[in-house]
Structure 1
Amino acid sequence: MSIVLTVAPTGPIATKSDNPNLATTPEEIADAVVAAYEAGASVAHIHLRDEDERPTADLSIGRRVIGLVSDRCPILIQLSTGAGLDVPFEQREKLVELKPAMATLNPCSMSFGGGEFLNPPNKVRRLAARMRDLGILPELEIYDTGHLEACLRLRDEGLLPEKLQFSIVLGVQGGMAATADNLIHMVNRLPDKSIWQVIAIGRANASLTAIGLALGGNARAGLEDTLYLRRNELSPGSTPLVERAVRVATELGHEIADVAETRRILLQSNAKAF
């Protein structure tokens, strides 16, 4: 079985004060993505930051990051339309106009740590329709059980492909706790032939990534999800976390999909799905 490995080098929350190795500038993000690609990642999940490290949906920054990455490696780009809690939806949704291969789609509003992650239903439908029209594959980020039902409604409305791609996010305050029981429960509820990965935030990252791989899911690794390589040891970048995920997958008998295989698994299988 081939495993798709995604690198998430930045995220919307942490700063260099949390881990000085966090990639925030376009050049740093590109360096982190290229290093992760060389370690085995075939998808780059990208959040953008402005010059003050704040989350942004600035299209010029997005265009620069994509250009810097694409000039150096063929990794598939997945832009986060989540961007950051303080970035208005109307700005976040415009990121798909950069036409990445993939982008995230968050189906529901929720409490997120000490803030609010606002995804109004009609605006989510509008974004899903635009992604469909542009041929951008949606990666559905589900933080709680009801989020899955919202995705299925979008699918039934013709706004999503029949073969759905999910990220099951565990450990965000306001969503599902990072437990094996919650992961298994969600995996058992996914529609047949779904593609999925677990995103475990914080301390449970390594163990739940391993459980997800054992259950047949894909994997994501990087400083967005955990700042630590092991207890009390900050990771010196996202690459060691990617390398750890590669080792776990390999020990479980999985192959690591290269970009061509990932394109076949994620994109070509959905090319005529709408």
Structure 2
Amino acid sequence: MKGKVLLTAAVTGAGDTIKKNPHVPVTPKEIAESAIESAKAGATIAHVHARNPETGGISHNVDHYREIVERIRESETDVIINITSGGGGDFIPSLSTPSAGGEGTDMQTPRERHEPVGQLLPEMCTLDCGSTNFGNMIYMSPTDWLREQAKLIQESGVKPELECFDTGHVRFAKQLIDEGLIDGDPMFQFCLGIPWGAEADAETMLYMRNRLPENAHWSAFGIGRMQMPIAAQSAMLGGNVRVGLEDNIYLSKGVPATNEQLVDKAVTMLNGHGLEPMTPEEARDYLQLRNPHGGQ
């Protein structure tokens, strides 16, 4: 869509960020309100994780997701909801027992990872297209598990966003397409700068972009201080944009951000390049999304 880009706000994530930035939303109410404020600031899509309201850590509780989704849907905003389906994929090897996960391991089956998506039927969800060394942890998403999860998403009618943390993930995402497990024009998300995945630079972005199917849509994000540079480079190279507290918690050095401030900063950047965010209505047509109230 000429002159328009998708602008995603990834509002909270699951990382240990709440002690570093008091604006990171934790409760379902806070997460929903932050998504709504991001939409008012110009976000097309709200990417949602749930957190445990008591600990601030990751939550797989479908009721937490349900409250978030219902609050957003009941608001006056029309933002597209994109739920994570990454679920429990965190494996921390134990040196004393390598075959078992150590403290902090959090693993779910493909069906368990899909449960919030399958029950709540958001318009979009993520699908992490491979395993990766995620800092000192292994995020595990084996190929046969991904095939099972892709089939569950396909059967639900939800649009998968194919998350690629490294170049091999693009290859496997294309394999899922070739196997008929991804319907319509695919949507790729390049996740750049995460230790130890793909680098957050234009060269890596171009490498990944140039290997996409001709009918693919794509977006890219960088973490930390690379959030806005990668957003700008993605927009200039014909891609879409993601910002938010999941990926970066600062507005500037040492200044904690809110999600709506990061969205506003991205909108200003886009406007400076003659671009603007798509409305949710425009994006539904662009991405061929299901009607959030049922049907296509």
TM over 0.5: yes
Report 1:86-235 matches (<5 A): 86-90=105-109, 91-97=112-118, 98-235=120-257
In the TM superposition, residue 162 of structure 1 has moved relative to its aligned partner by 4.7
> Out of 35, 60, 69, which is 2:63 matched to?
60
In the TM superposition, residue 111 of structure 1 has moved relative to its aligned partner by 1.1
**Secondary structure of 2:288's match?**
helix
Unaligned runs of 5+ in 2: 91-104, 291-296
What's the CA shift string for 1:43-84, capped at 9, x where partnerless? 110011012111122111111110111111221110001145
Distance 1:26 1:268 in 2: 25
Distance 1:101 1:136 in 2: 5
The structure with the larger Rg is: 2
Normalised by the length of structure 1, the TM-score is: 0.94
**Partner in structure 2 of residue 272 of structure 1:** none
Asked if 1 retains the 8 angstrom alpha-carbon contact of 2:44 and 2:79, the reply is yes
Size of the alignment, in residue pairs? 268
What's the CA shift string for 1:222-261, capped at 9, x where partnerless? 10111111122221x1111000111111111113211110
Normalised by the length of structure 2, the TM-score is: 0.87
Asked if 2 retains the 8 angstrom alpha-carbon contact of 1:103 and 1:137, the reply is yes
**Which amino acid is the alignment partner of residue 135 of structure 1?**
G
Report 1:64-79 matches (<5 A): 64-72=67-75, 73-79=77-83
**Which amino acid is the alignment partner of residue 20 of structure 2?**
D
In the TM superposition, residue 268 of structure 1 has moved relative to its aligned partner by 4.5
**Partner in structure 2 of residue 44 of structure 1:** 46
In the TM superposition, residue 93 of structure 1 has moved relative to its aligned partner by 2.1
Asked if 1 retains the 8 angstrom alpha-carbon contact of 2:13 and 2:49, the reply is yes
CA RMSD of aligned residues (A): 1.4
Structure 1 segments, 4+ long, off by >3 Å, are none
Out of 188-197 and 257-266, give the one that drifted further.
188-197
**Partner in structure 1 of residue 284 of structure 2:** 263
Distance 1:207 1:256 in 2: 17
Distance 1:53 1:243 in 2: 26
